[in-house]
């Protein structure tokens, strides 16, 4: 099976690599501290967006999500006119946004309520805990923006990543979400203590911008909130497994694509997050990807220079797909979409699976 444009129904777009937060397990920063130096800080302008996604592309799609591997979609200055354009081109498309909700004014959320199908707010705790992971995000601002969105008729979802420091608040937060009018409350069982080098760790030291330790993050201890995929990998030789397991690409079978902030078209965000980040930079996968990318021009990879359909059917995607079964296989593909368990499928945003 190969990627075919005619089969594709969904796109995840990293509309911006800017962010107000510094989540310690996000590849955009150094464990909660300074932003990684090589990360391009950019967002799609309205004109760039309509060039990459003309009418015929949006009419072909059923799902369009503005999400973040490195940034938060709400940092994009043109997010409102872009969403209006998407909706005008395809009134039936499922249009969603994933955000920490702690930025921009509430009027923007009110306006988006009339356009998007949902906004998923990443809120990992309550007022006394949300900032432990969502560093620099003010809880009261999140609730103000979410409430403005809900009161205007918007469908809001509360995504709660569980750690040891907030596991006691899950049910309280669930009740708060109901009282505020959230449409759903999604418990997310983290897989990020399996680090970018694919080593299971039992903690993560959180750093400030000077590189000094501030505190430590721990995975949940309550068995209800532990990602079962972690158990599957606890007792095997991970490096050997990922290089030998049969790969079934989750996103290809879900008929989805990921497009990053630079315009590069990828099968998924799990592969794209090999490019930047203090942990990703140490991996063999990153060098493999850089070697691949040196083989091609922007026209082969980037939707700012070529149509998405041409890229999907071109040599860039051919090399990526061939790597699943040859000596250039990347560990990331074996881990996320190998035979034992789809870590990504277990931990994927609930909204994306509906």
Residue 332 has pLDDT above 70, yes or no: yes
Structural domain includes residue 318: no
Structural domain includes residue 296: no
Kindly report the CATH number assigned to the domain that includes residue 217: 3.20.20.70
Continuous H helices in the chain: 46-52, 55-60, 79-89, 106-113, 130-133, 139-151, 170-180, 228-234, 238-244, 250-253, 269-272, 284-294, 298-301, 308-312, 315-322, 331-337, 343-347, 350-353
Under the banding of pLDDT at 50, 70 and 90, the label for residue 351 is very low
Residue 314 has pLDDT above 70, yes or no: yes
Q: Which domain, by its residues, includes 166? A: 8-225+250-269+347-353
pLDDT of residue 235: 81
In 3D space, the residue among 196, 192, 194 whose CA is nearest the CA of residue 282 turns out to be 196
Mean pLDDT, all residues of the chain? 93
Structural domain includes residue 282: no
The stretch 273-300 carries a mean pLDDT of 93
pLDDT of residue 236: 85
pLDDT of residue 341: 58
Under the banding of pLDDT at 50, 70 and 90, the label for residue 232 is confident
Structural domain includes residue 90: yes
Under the banding of pLDDT at 50, 70 and 90, the label for residue 73 is very high
The stretch 294-308 carries a mean pLDDT of 98
Q: Are 338 and 247 in contact (CB under 8 A)?
A: yes
Q: What is the pLDDT of residues 77-134, one digit of tens each?
A: 999 999 999 999 999 999 999 999 999 999 999 999 999 999 999 999 999 999 999 9
Chain center to CA of 76? 16
Q: What is the C-alpha separation between 27 and 69, in angstroms, rounded?
A: 8
Contacts of 220 (CB under 8 A, 6+ apart): 162, 163, 164, 167, 189, 190, 226
Under the banding of pLDDT at 50, 70 and 90, the label for residue 231 is confident
Structural domain includes residue 149: yes
Residue 273 has pLDDT above 80, yes or no: yes
Structural domain includes residue 259: yes
Structural domain includes residue 194: yes
299/346: higher pLDDT: 299
Q: What is the C-alpha separation between 249 and 133, in angstroms, rounded?
A: 30
pLDDT of residue 348: 43
- Among the residue ranges 21-25, 108-112, 338-342, the one predicted with the least confidence is 338-342
Task: Give the pTM.
Answer: 0.94
The stretch 313-320 carries a mean pLDDT of 97
> Looking at the 3D structure of the chain, how many domains does it have?
1
Structural domain includes residue 308: no
pLDDT of residue 200: 86
Under the banding of pLDDT at 50, 70 and 90, the label for residue 172 is very high
| Maximum distance among all Cα pairs of the chain, rounded to whole angstroms | 54
The stretch 199-213 carries a mean pLDDT of 94
């Amino acid at each position: 099976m190969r990627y075919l444009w005619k089969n594709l129904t969904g796109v995840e777009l990293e509309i911006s690599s800017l962010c107000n937060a510094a989540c310690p397990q996000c590849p955009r920063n150094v464990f909660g501290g300074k932003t990684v130096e090589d990360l391009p800080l950019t967002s799609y302008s309205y004109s760039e967006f309509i060039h990459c996604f003309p009418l015929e592309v949006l009419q072909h799609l059923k799902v369009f999500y503005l999400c973040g591997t490195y940034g938060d979609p709400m940092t994009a200055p043109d997010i409102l006119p872009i969403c209006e354009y998407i909706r005008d081109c395809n009134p039936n498309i499922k249009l969603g946004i994933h955000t920490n909700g702690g930025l921009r004014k509430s009027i923007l959320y009110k306006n988006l309520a009339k356009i998007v199908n949902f906004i998923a707010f990443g809120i990992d705790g309550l007022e006394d805990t949300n900032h432990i992971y969502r560093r620099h995000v003010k809880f009261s601002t999140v609730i103000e923006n979410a409430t403005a969105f809900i009161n205007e008729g918007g469908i809001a979802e509360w995504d709660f990543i569980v750690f040891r420091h907030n596991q006691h608040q899950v049910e309280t937060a669930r009740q708060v979400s109901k009282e505020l009018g959230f449409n759903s409350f999604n418990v997310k069982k983290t897989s990020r203590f399996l680090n970018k080098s694919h080593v299971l760790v039992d903690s993560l030291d959180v750093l400030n911008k000077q590189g000094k330790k501030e505190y430590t993050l721990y995975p949940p201890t309550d068995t209800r909130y532990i990602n079962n995929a972690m158990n599957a990998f606890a007792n095997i030789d991970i490096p050997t497994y990922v290089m030998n397991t049969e790969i079934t690409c989750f996103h290809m079978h879900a008929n989805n694509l990921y497009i990053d902030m630079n315009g590069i078209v990828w099968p998924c965000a799990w592969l794209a997050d090999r490019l930047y980040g203090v942990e990703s930079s140490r991996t063999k996968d990153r060098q493999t990807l850089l070697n691949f990318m040196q083989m091609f021009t922007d026209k082969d990879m980037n939707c700012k220079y070529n149509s998405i359909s041409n890229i999907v059917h071109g040599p860039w995607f051919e090399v990526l797909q061939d790597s699943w079964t040859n000596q250039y296989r990347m560990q990331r593909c074996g881990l996320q979409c190998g035979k034992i368990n789809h870590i990504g499928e277990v931990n994927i945003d609930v909204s994306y699976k509906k």
